[in-house]
Chains A and B, each alone.
Chain A
């Protein structure tokens, strides 16, 4: 580019910068008008430079012209915005010029799935109790899913979880509990883990069941971990997650991999215990299965059952999310309906 063209371009760039600064600095409508006249006016600086484009050699003219237009647009835009800003100030003094009740320009709002949120909150509470968050495979062997957890394959207990088999060795895990065995095999105590993940059971897909659903497994094993610690940890969790006025109760239950086993109920979050359809009028909702780790599990993973004790629990964050948000049908969690998801965004 020749010297004339290049220099004009430079001056345009400079003018744009100065002009933008002057507009921004204008504190009153009068000052703004002065800036407009100085830069964008008929005899203003921009008009002056544009007048000189003709003197530039022809090949360079389109480039310079383009630059000049860009500068003009930038300055006009800034002037308009600043005019509005000053008008807002005017409105405060009683003279409305812009209808500020008009809708603003909003971006799309994204959102985390409500079940993810429940999982994260639960795991965060247990992190404060020294737990780490781990994951495990959804495809499992029958050894990890059943045998290591003291579940004989032909026992009626296996009925409780009708299983999807991929072949004779490999299944879709029926719970997140096999991760317990995997973690203990590879780490000596103290072990404290929470394990969120999908589990699979051959349940029909209906308002309260799904053939795949999220579960959170918890496991704490060390010397001296007893039922009192277990009870206290769960109480701590219930108070933090459901609120301090929420009570918990433990009921006898059965899991092959815990002994004693307990189901944990909390005060119904909908009716606060007075009885409603959500809690089937009992005032309680069941939130987890749990218990002290069965010595047979310790033996299967090579821990000394006379030395170590521990507790384990499993929760369904999907069901908890349903109760928390009043979602009537479990299938809604998995449909990907934007009208559902946006409510949690």
Chain B
């Protein structure tokens, strides 16, 4: 929403300060000022020029020669605008002057004809957007006058970022009210200098007749009030310079004096109005009704629309002539030929306007205000103001009868505010009179203020529909007191009774371990394609942002693999990433919701998941010899540490296919010979090689490895019980055996641990060998043992006894042959 700095100063006597200061103050008390933009800056050399004569250019069809009176001797200007009127006034930049942006105009020859200066468009002067021609100026200007002076410029446009509850700030009165030193009562709207208009009103709740027109509200819900005035014999032409300047400063395009008058009143006091060419209204009738399905309407913007009953229209006897509260129709608009006008000033229902705007797919200055709620009692004053402005600048006669149809708006609400409530919420100890004094300048009139009762009662002004409760007044008090004036005093507090979510600690532990392992944390959006290289997502988003990413992720590794592809595409071979986040599925067995507030959630399963991927070198390259690529044993080691340290579980080879939990966790990326992470007897994670088809890798890429597990499976670390450290020496022994190749190393190790007494401190597989020296169909496993006792030095006999037992177990259980016996 744009506000003119000059207009604010005109309205609010005594308002001091630079535009920057005013903007800063407004931001602090009312709403953010997004931008300050000079309007009509750098226009020093531009003057008003009158075109005395227009001739064709002898050498160019599209160009014309104009003789221009710019206050001195007439000059010749070549101009390419499609329409140039003889005697019309246009901005003229003489040779030697500079356009905004620094382009200096020179006298020069254009296709064989000299051009001394230039006639300009709004865009060239940075006064507005391109409208396909040069800028027509109001007729009341003297040629040679500086353009800035003529239009009341330069000005500064303040762009306001309004909150949806403060539509009242979208007009100059509303903004000035917050700033004026004297408050609302001190505001001084411009004197138009013409006759006033205080009509006799005609009409009832449904219809009204007078001033030669008939108004009927056919849907009172959609349109609670409709007021109309008739002005006959107007002269439609460009607006006077002061009005054009005001509109330009707010970013609106001047159109003609009648339309500009409605736009001025809109910007002054927030009431949208519309002017119809009365001669085009069939039967001189206005009906407010729902649109008929398929009903056509060409709106002012030139669009031919086909309406639905969701839209509310203004119709005449025969057809729709406007979208209620949104935009008028083209066939009934005010044109230079218009003689009699009907001015509409209505209160349309906010949600009906919203529905109308939505059904047609656009919004306007008018619909913005209606949707957010204008003053339901402001129509009479706004209509009178508009009629007065039209009489002053377009002439004509206003009919002394005004038509007013609809319900009387109710009394403005009265609210009470307790000083004790102010103290409770704000911490401020304010007297009732101080509270009343803060509220009065913004239009909250005090009805009673009783220090004894500790309460002030105020009438809420019509433009503040957002203030309906005591707490809303508390905000007004805080705002007017100044948020930043509230003292800072640390207060005592009672700590929270809410326990910390265990997921927070779990995620922190996972993050710590994976970062220590050299992985980089990523964060992704949750949106994925339905299917990506064999990984299928489950939960669809019916209204996605893009058709390509219309599902929610159901697994983390596939998301990370897309990040790997991103890095591969940038030539990066070594990638190690992890992410912690939610994945989504449908619930396998929906339980009924706890209550209606949660209804629907039972259909979905949202789970926190951890994913990790590795590809490329195991370590950074080094001049003294490099490490190889991350491979199966690296992956297994990482997964084992995660399983043991985080999940209090272990790793098992996944035989493939028979574990639905593993399938759920792997979501299509895992090669068949992977692992599962098992904790508490459940599969809670998977790890392994990424299936080649699941990653679109360049030929130079290394193989990729993935790990995924449920964050919920991460266990709190059990309290560690210290085991005494023996001060006696250890005895080391090695044992090499051959076993059939089908024997699994893990089974052998388990058997060894089970067989040995608690003198066994550690057992480690140090060698695996197949080939020469070992029989066909067998493999050699070398084990290193360390024995130690807490209370003595072990004897050879004790250790030999252990070794004999271990050998015997292996021979018996695994058909082992001891290699040196």
Contact = CB atoms under 8 A, between A and B. Distances in A.
B511 A138 contact: no
Nearest to B626: A105
A213 B761 CA distance: 51
B496 A227 contact: no
B56 to A, nearest CB: 49
B728 to A, nearest CB: 15
Contacts of A313: none
B501 A133 contact: yes
B788 interface: no
Given A113-B523, A130-B494, A141-B599, A5 B471 contact: no
A110 B427 contact: no
Nearest to A284: B27
Interface stretch (A46-54, A75-83, A89-97, A166-174): A166-174
B820 A109 contact: no
Most buried by A among B475, B517, B576: B475
A24 interface: no
A341 B522 contact: yes
A102 to B, nearest CB: 6
Given A110-B518, A111-B521, A170 B604 contact: yes
A110 B516 contact: yes
Nearest to B767: A66
Interface stretch (A28-36, A37-45, A151-159): A151-159
Contacts, number: 296
A210 B545 CA distance: 10
A201 B493 CA distance: 35
B489 to A, nearest CB: 5
A191 B495 CA distance: 8
B521 A187 contact: no
B376 to A, nearest CB: 17
Given A108-B620, A170-B603, A229 B493 contact: yes
A22 to B, nearest CB: 18
A245 interface: no
Contacts of B572: 338-339
B490 A236 contact: yes
Contacts of B526: 138, 172, 198, 200, 212
A260 interface: yes
Contacts of B493: 129-130, 190, 192, 220, 222, 225, 229
A226 B425 contact: yes
A193 B515 contact: no
B820 A60 contact: yes
Interface string A327-345: 0000001111111011001
Contact of B351 (A154, A165, A226, A334): A154
Contacts of A130: 493-496
A212 B552 CA distance: 12
Contacts of B500: 132-134
Given A190-B496, A192-B493, A339-B572, A250 B483 contact: yes
Contacts of A341: 520-522, 577
Contacts of B166: 254
B819 A63 contact: yes
Contacts of A326: none
Interface residues of A, number: 111
Given A103-B622, A229-B491, A336-B563, A205 B520 contact: no
B734 A338 contact: no
A4 B515 CA distance: 51
A252 B523 contact: no
B474 A337 contact: no
Given A13-B732, A183-B498, A170 B523 contact: no
Contacts of B601: 137, 139-141, 169-170
Interface string A208-224: 00111010000010101
Interface in B516-539: 516-527, 539
Contacts of A220: 493
Interface string B85-101: 00000000000000000
A125 to B, nearest CB: 14
B471 to A, nearest CB: 5
Given A156-B372, A235-B488, A339-B570, A251 B620 contact: no
Contact of A261 (B475, B517, B596, B604): B475
A252 B479 contact: yes
Interface string A171-199: 01000000000010001111111000010
Given A113-B521, A235-B488, A105 B496 contact: no
Contacts of B497: 187-191
A204 B736 CA distance: 65
A339 to B, nearest CB: 7
A67 B734 CA distance: 9
A273 interface: no
Interface stretch (B29-37, B210-218, B646-654): B29-37
A9 B501 CA distance: 56
A266 interface: no
A157 B603 CA distance: 28
A152 B475 CA distance: 20
Contacts of B163: 252-254, 261
A112 B515 contact: yes
Contacts of B519: 110
Contacts of B563: 335-336
Given A6-B820, A106-B619, A280-B35, 12 more contacts: A59-B821, A66-B782, A110-B515, A133-B500, A166-B540, A191-B497, A205-B525, A211-B527, A222-B493, A227-B426, A250-B484, A338-B574
Interface of A: 1-2, 5-6, 9, 13, 59-60, 62-64, 66-67, 102-103, 105-113, 115-116, 129-135, 137-141, 143-144, 148, 154-157, 159-160, 164-170, 172, 183, 187-193, 198, 200, 202-205, 210-212, 214, 220, 222, 224-229, 231-232, 235-236, 249-254, 259-263, 280, 292, 294-295, 309, 333-339, 341-342, 345
Interface of B: 27-32, 35, 163-166, 351, 354, 371-372, 423-428, 469, 471-472, 474-475, 478-479, 483-484, 486-491, 493-501, 503-504, 511, 514-527, 539-545, 552, 560, 563, 566-567, 570, 572, 574-577, 581-582, 584, 596-601, 603-604, 606, 619-620, 622-624, 732, 734, 736, 767, 773, 782, 818-821
20 contacts: A107-B619, A108-B620, A112-B521, A113-B520, A113-B522, A115-B523, A134-B504, A141-B600, A155-B164, A165-B542, A166-B541, A228-B426, A229-B493, A252-B29, A252-B163, A259-B472, A260-B425, A292-B474, A336-B577, A338-B577
7 nearest A-B pairs in the assembled complex, by CB-CB distance:
A169-B600, A336-B563, A108-B518, A254-B163, A226-B427, A228-B427, A250-B483
